[in-house]
Amino acid sequence: MKLFEYEAKEILSKYGIPTPTGGLITSPKQARETAERIKSPVVVKAQVLVAGRGKAGGILFASSPAEAELSSSKLLSSKIKGIKVQSVLVEEQLSISKELYFSITVDRSNRSYVAIASSEGGVEIEEIAAATPEKIIKVLVDPLYGFRSYHARQIAKKLGYVGSQMRELAAIFLKLYRVAMDCDAELCEMNPIVETSEGKFVAADARLIIDDNALYRQSNFHGRLTKIDGDKLTSQELEAQKSGLAYVKLDGNIGVIGNGAGLVMATLDAIKLYGGNPANFLDVGGGASSDKMAAALNLVLSDHRVDVVFINILGGITRCDEVAKGILEAKNRIGFVKPLVIRLVGTNEREGRRILTEAGIPILDSMEEAAEKAVGIAKVGG
């Protein structure tokens, strides 16, 4: 679960990490008041959960309270990468001497957390990695011993700091590690963490992504997933969340349903290979009941862009008869206005085939054959 910048900064601040003076606002008037309170030029930042917000015009600068009111009014009535801005963070402009990067994240291949830093902050870490890989510092965290003060100092030193600046910066890194661990973070990032012209360090921007699997024990965030992401989720995505379906919206016109993440991805790939364009990724998971199957079908059919639905089921734990029943259920409820291509093999295949065949719905054996057929229909239909 991604947190908004202002939420991440609240947490950092609670742990004693310096963040810019400022406030969250939802109206231009509040922006003016906040800027008046700050008594310095401000930066006005749209609170949206997308990368590259700055380039997309989501960050504006204002040298007076009046300008802050104007800028925030502009942002509050705009969309950033298609997402409506609902709140804005108004903060003091820092006098920046240097922008650094620091994050705690998961190192998959080393099966541990890793601290990543760079003296080239302010841009995406991948860009730093591409442009100046030698400027990326990585320190693996031993899960049994943790990230300790000397690790933090080692990084601060490699970033070019000595003496009390090294120690101050290291203390901030240690605090961020505590945030990451306490919040079960997948990524906890300060980018940039700024060295001000007075030589102090301030987390000018912050990102915090909580491990979804750990939300159950993060009482502060538990149950807020839908609410927080609400503004950016399509109705299908919301529906999928409620039904426990793994759904990702894509930009084509062939609706896809399958069981198993890898199989569904391979199904999308196959559609593409035959010249088609999938409208979504939808994994019903293992052992889906007829109800879940019906919900999935409903969901895909509710997407008006979809011209044809390709259902690809390879039954292992999932039983073909349950799938077949789910398809019929959905048919009875909403009727099918769009063509269906169904590939159904595996556990209880015979019974599943019988159910669908009796209902006049044909079934295919091969995934590739089915993909080709779906693409053909979509082209005709499209």
Partner 1 sequence: MGIFVNASTKAIVQGITGTQGSFHTRLMLDYGTQIVAGVTPGKGGKKVHNVPVYDAVEEALQKHEADTSIIFVPAPFAADAAFEALESGLKTIVIITEHVPVKDAVQVMARAKHQGAVVIGPNTPGIITLGGCKLGIMPVHIFKRGSVGIASRSGTLTYEIATGLSTMGLGQSTCLGLGGDPVVGLSFVEVLKEFEKDEQTKAVVLIGEIGGDAEERAASFISNKGYAKPVVAFVAGRTAPKGKRMGHAGAIIMGKAGTAQSKIDAFREANVSVAEKPSDVAKILAEKLKRRKNIFGGAESER
Number of residues this chain uses to bind partner 1 (CB under 8 A): 69
DSSP 8-state secondary structure symbol assigned to residue 278: B
Nearer to partner 1, 121 or 315 (CB): 315
Residue 369 identity (one-letter amino acid): E
DSSP 8-state secondary structure symbol assigned to residue 212: G
Alpha helices (H) along the chain: 5-14, 28-38, 65-76, 125-131, 149-158, 163-182, 225-229, 235-243, 261-273, 290-301, 320-334, 349-358, 367-381
Largest CA distance in the chain: 80
Q: CA angle, corner 138, sides to 137 and 143, nearest 5?
A: 155
Indicate whether 154 belongs to the interface with partner 1 (CB under 8 A): yes
**Footprint of partner 1 on 180-199 (CB under 8 A):** 181, 184, 186
Query: Binding segment for partner 1 among 222-230, 293-301, 350-358, 363-371 (CB under 8 A)?
Result: 363-371
Q: Which position among 204, 268, 328, 344 is part of the footprint of partner 1 (CB under 8 A)?
A: 268
Question: Which among 209, 212, 170, 207 has a CA at the least distance from the CA of 192?
Answer: 207
Query: Binding segment for partner 1 among 90-98, 268-276, 298-306, 331-339 (CB under 8 A)?
Result: 268-276
33 assigned to active site:
no
Give me the catalytic one of 6, 101, 161, 247.
101
Indicate whether 113 belongs to the interface with partner 1 (CB under 8 A): yes
Please state the separation of Cα 313 from the chain's center in Å: 27
Q: Which position among 269, 302, 358, 382 is part of the footprint of partner 1 (CB under 8 A)?
A: 269
Indicate whether 262 belongs to the interface with partner 1 (CB under 8 A): yes
Minimum CB distance to partner 1, residue 241 (Å): 12
Neighbours of 52 (CB within 10 A): 10
| Burial state string for 71-88 with b = 16 or more CB within 10 A and e = fewer than 16 | bbbbbbeeebeebebebb
Q: Which position among 82, 164, 227, 350 is part of the footprint of partner 1 (CB under 8 A)?
A: 164
189 assigned to active site:
yes
Minimum CB distance to partner 1, residue 212 (Å): 7
Query: Binding segment for partner 1 among 68-76, 105-113, 291-299, 334-342 (CB under 8 A)?
Result: 105-113
Give Cα separations from 361 to 325, 331, 381 (angstroms). 12, 11, 19
Minimum CB distance to partner 1, residue 36 (Å): 38
Using DSSP's 3-state secondary structure scheme, residue 312 falls into strand
- Phi then psi dihedrals of residue 362, to 5 deg: -80, 155
Give Cα separations from 3 to 211, 253, 307, 326 (angstroms). 11, 32, 35, 36
Nearer to partner 1, 238 or 263 (CB): 263
Indicate whether 263 belongs to the interface with partner 1 (CB under 8 A): yes
Residues found near partner 1 in the complex (CB under 8 A): 51, 106, 108-109, 111-113, 124-126, 130, 142-145, 148-150, 153-154, 157, 162-164, 166-167, 170, 181, 184, 186, 211-214, 216-217, 246, 248, 250, 258-266, 268-273, 278, 281, 283, 285-286, 314-317, 345-347, 366-368
Q: Which residues carry out catalysis?
A: 101, 189
